[in-house]
Structure formats: structure tokens, C-alpha cells
Chain A
């Protein structure tokens, strides 16, 4: 059996996953699952998605050998360039799939939560492309720190709902998106931005992101020693790992030190799924705290909890200062400004370079850093 296969039962990856939603949302989740199962084996749907990924999103994205940085680090670093996909991150892969599904289901409106704004921008983009309305829920703190993306979403015609409760970041935006969906299941489709949420989302989003890993596996001549990706909810990492889970490559997911659900979390239930979550001794979810809005999330996709539990993927953390340094380093050595989220993977590679001498390392560069420029002023 392959390691990253279809979840068992009601979305179980080992003991993690599930569908912890109110009864009122169960039928909506069941409809999404039925529609996805049908679409995913429909050659017509696959062809239409492939077409959009190719002529619209710019896939396949290249693999760039980071020559100067590799020489400095004493290893061979290959970058899977999701920053070059339309809208500037891997989020578009998932959103095009889900938006096509929403249209196929006859929905008029996409609801999306967003942290860094990359998923929101991707959702707004796909909505414009397919003629759907788009409502994006975003924590007030993120609205302030990711202003360029807020402007992009508005230009694309999306309505932004700032969320002022709790930590005013991605966690609270997700709560509010779920509340919005409960009240609007007939016309709205909830387009979740990562491998989280109730079944079938963790599985479906991984399937839509598996294009990263499938392409990369075909693009590398030999299986790399190591495959590394940053982990917020875990979608770019999960998509990447699908291409390598059944190879000899070592797999590493890098979390933000302030939002490290795998490293510092305990099992719990958040946003409709059972996984590792950051919580206090009373079971209250604690607030993540990272310079990268897209990693400021106290949970992690259930499949990651499983891959960690069975030891197939190792999870590490890096802190804000190393990340900022990694952004500068890639900019100066390769002429690529990565997103703060993506720079987490790079920061870990830089830190571990001594151990990795001579190895071939494939890193998913999940997005570009334009949205973060204000953070560097």
C-alpha cells in the first residue's frame, strides 16, 4: 500500500482526521465529498483542471538549481518554483480545483479563509475567472500586515470580511468562514485553503496539490536525498510529499517556532478535524505567533500528524530571525525573493547545511515575497 493513499472511513489518516462539524454542516460536507469523488475520476474534469493549470496558472513550474547558494552551503539545492505560478504561490493549484468543483456543484459563491492573503488572492482570482462571487474571511491583524494582498483581492472583486475575534488571525478567520458556511450552504461553497478542516478537505486539498510532487518527481533526474517544505496547515508540503513518500527520500516539514503544532502540540479537535493542535492545559487553543501570517496557525493537517506518528516525515522548527536572514540570503545569491512562509524551509536547510553536506535537497519554494515587503521596512 502506498503511504499517502486515500484516508480510511470518515477521513481517517491513522487516528487523525474525521468530520467534527455541527449536524447542520454534515450534509454540505457529504455533498462536497460526493462531488469530489465523482469529479476526480471524471476524465473531463481532470482535463479541464489540467488545462487551467497549464494555460492559466503557468504549470508546470520549473525546478531551479540554486547554484550560488548551493556552492556556499556545500550541497545541491533544487527549488520547486511555486512562486512562479499565477498569483504567486501554490495556493492557486488547490483553488482552481475547488472552484471548478463548486461550479460543477452549481454553487454561486466561494467562501475562503486566509492568513497571508495568498489563498484569498487565489480564491478571488479563480472566482473572477469562473464567474463566481467570492467572500474572504481574514483576521484584522492579517488585514493590517498583508495590505497588498487585501488590495489585490478587492481589485479582483472579492468582498473581505475582517474578523475581530480571538487572536484576529487565520484561526479566527476559519471559525468565521465555517459560521458563514453554516448559514449559506445552499449557495456557497467553502473553499478551504490547506489540508485541514472536515473530511473530505484534507484529502481533497492534498490531491489538488499533488501536482507539485508529481511534477517534481518527473523533473528530477534521480530521487533527491532530502525533500523539504514549510508547513502551516501543510498543503504545499503534503502536495510535495505525495511525489516522494514512496521513495527513499528523507522528508522534512518545517514549522514556524511560534506555530509548531507538530513539535509543541498535543492531540485535539479544531476546525472540524482531529490532529495535533497548540492548546493550554485546559484545552483552550493557544494563539500562534509567527512573522509569517501564513504559518500563524495552531493546528496542522491530520495527514501530517499521521505521517509524523509513523515516522515517515520529520518535523522541525525555525524562528523568525533565521527566516528573515534566509529571505535576504536567497535574494542576494539567487535573485529570488521568497515568501516568509517559504523561507522557513530554506532557513532550516541553511541551519542544517553542515549535516547535509554533499546531499541533493529539493525544496518547495511555496510563494514569492512581494506581499511581505512592508515587513522589511
Chain B
């Protein structure tokens, strides 16, 4: 179980592993500023579902020589209480022993955006065998039947994607987002978190009117790449915490 209850709204900030030396300090700063869990991006060369900000973050991390080993080594040097979740693409997730290594390093959940319901089975089996939750995504275009199947097999939480599109900051929260969150909440007892384009405390506040929480990624990564340090980015997370 990644979250023990649904009585409070969940905040899950994201950081691309290896984006800068000392990137794990951002994980600590997020934890210190009210994060309920932290999503760590394991960079992939071909991030199909990511917009320009996370693409650039991934490129920078890979240019720094980031590997799974390196990320797990950096994480072993910090200690945070909140669950850590890894987000990466199928080509990395299907590699032999992948889930075991995450689990050994204390990771609690896995998100694989390009492994839909029909393809995720083997990855979920490997994740579960290692003791990881496999967190599924659902989109505004997901049919009612699939929403039912996705929620029925979901673990950890359900990641509701606010838009038909890639990750990236947006001016406004898509109206489809809250409707999707409500429909998913009616199908599962697990928390439903909205992510993709949740860019401001106002967006987050609007999202949690119908969702159990939010995932915030691009808005943080843009500031990080513009030079914001752990304290500054922790403060941004803190402001979103207050808003929800």
C-alpha cells in the first residue's frame, strides 16, 4: 500500500533522476514540504508521452551519464519516510530483474506510461513478485469498460491523465480532468490522482475538488532547469500543499 488512507489529499511531486548532481536533495526537499509520495523519473531516450520540459530533463540526465544503478545509488544515500515511485518506459521496465532491483532499493511503486492495460500483464507480474505496486494510467479517452478493468486491477493509486496529450505545463486545467477523476473514484476505493499539466496551486486546488490528489512534474522540472535549488523547489511544493 502506497497510501494508507484517503482522508487527506495526496501530493506527489516528480523529479527526473540524475538531472543534476545532487538531484536526490530535491527528493528530500519535497518530502520536507508535504509530499505524500515522490515520483522519480528514470530517463529514457525516447519518452513518447512527454512534452518538451520532461524531454529536456531526460536528455540532460542521460547526457550526465545517468543510469538505473546511479539513481538507486544516489537514493541509498538519503533517507525519506514517504514512498518512492519510479516512472519509466516499457523498454526499461521489461528488462530482466528490473523490478527486483527497484524493490531492493526500497522503491514502492512503478508507473509505465506506454504499457496499457492489454500489455501491462507481464510487467505487473514482475512488479508484484518483487513487492511493487503497478500504478495504471487512465485517460479522458479511456472507455467505460476499460476504466472498469483498469480500476479493478489497479494498485497503489490510479493515475488519471488530465488531457489527451503529453506532459507539460498548461494555462488551465482541462474540464475533462475532474469528470474523469469522478468517474474513476466511483469505481475504486484506491485514491485517484490527477496529473499532466497540473501547473499551479490553483490548478491543484481545482483538481482535488474531485480527485484524491495530484501529481506535479513539468512545473517543477522547468523551475529546476531554470536554476531553482532544492529549497526553492521545496517551497513551490509547499505552496501546492497549502492549496490542497
- A residues with CB within 8 A of B: 10, 18-24, 26-28, 165-166, 171-172, 175, 178-179, 182-183, 185, 268-272, 274, 277, 279, 282-286
Contact = CB atoms under 8 A, between A and B. Distances in A.
A185 B140 CA distance: 12
B139 A178 contact: no
Contacts of A18: 119
B146 interface: yes
Interface stretch (B7-15, B100-108, B110-118, B233-241): B110-118
B225 interface: no
A185 B89 CA distance: 22
Contacts of B136: 23
Given A24-B140, A182-B166, A269 B49 contact: no
B161 A178 contact: no
Given A23-B116, A269-B89, A270-B91, A171 B139 contact: no
Given A270-B46, A284-B62, A19 B118 contact: yes
Contact of B91 (A178, A185, A285): A285
Given A22-B49, A283-B91, A285-B91, 12 more contacts: A20-B115, A22-B48, A22-B137, A24-B142, A26-B118, A26-B141, A179-B165, A182-B164, A268-B94, A269-B89, A270-B46, A284-B44
A23 B68 contact: no
Contact of B45 (A19, A21, A285): A285
30 contacts: A10-B118, A18-B119, A20-B116, A20-B119, A22-B48, A22-B113, A23-B136, A23-B146, A24-B139, A24-B140, A24-B164, A26-B117, A26-B141, A27-B141, A171-B46, A175-B46, A175-B48, A178-B48, A179-B49, A179-B166, A182-B164, A182-B165, A185-B141, A185-B164, A269-B90, A272-B48, A282-B67, A283-B95, A284-B62, A286-B45
A26 B91 contact: no
Contact of B90 (A20, A24, A172): A20
A26 B116 contact: yes
B180 to A, nearest CB: 11
B49 A182 contact: yes
B165 A183 contact: yes
B231 to A, nearest CB: 31
A282 B72 CA distance: 14
A10 B115 CA distance: 13
Given A171-B46, A283-B92, A19 B166 contact: no
A20 B114 contact: yes
A24 B141 contact: yes
Interface string B137-168: 11111110010001000000000010111100
Interface residues of B, number: 40
A178 B45 CA distance: 15
Nearest to A166: B45
B143 A22 contact: no
A239 to B, nearest CB: 26
Residue of A19, A165, A179, A270 with highest tally of chain B CB at under 10 A: A179
B218 interface: no
Contacts of A175: 46-48
B119 A23 contact: no
Nearest to A286: B45
Given A269-B94, A285-B91, A23 B45 contact: no
Contacts of A272: 48, 114
Contact of B116 (A22, A171, A271, A279): A22
A309 B165 CA distance: 36
B74 interface: no
Contact of B161 (A20, A24, A269, A271): A24
Residue of B113, B116, B137, B139 with highest tally of chain A CB at under 10 A: B116
A161 to B, nearest CB: 13
B204 to A, nearest CB: 21
B116 A19 contact: yes
Which 6 interchain pairs have the tightest Cβ spacing?
A: A24-B139, A183-B165, A269-B90, A284-B45, A269-B91, A285-B45
A162 B114 CA distance: 24
Residue of A23, A24, A279, A285 with highest tally of chain B CB at under 10 A: A23
Contacts of B143: 27
Contacts of A26: 116-118, 141-142, 146
Contacts of B146: 23, 26
A268 B91 contact: yes
Contact of B48 (A10, A28, A179, A279): A179
A318 to B, nearest CB: 26
B55 interface: yes
A179 B137 CA distance: 17
B59 interface: yes
A272 to B, nearest CB: 7
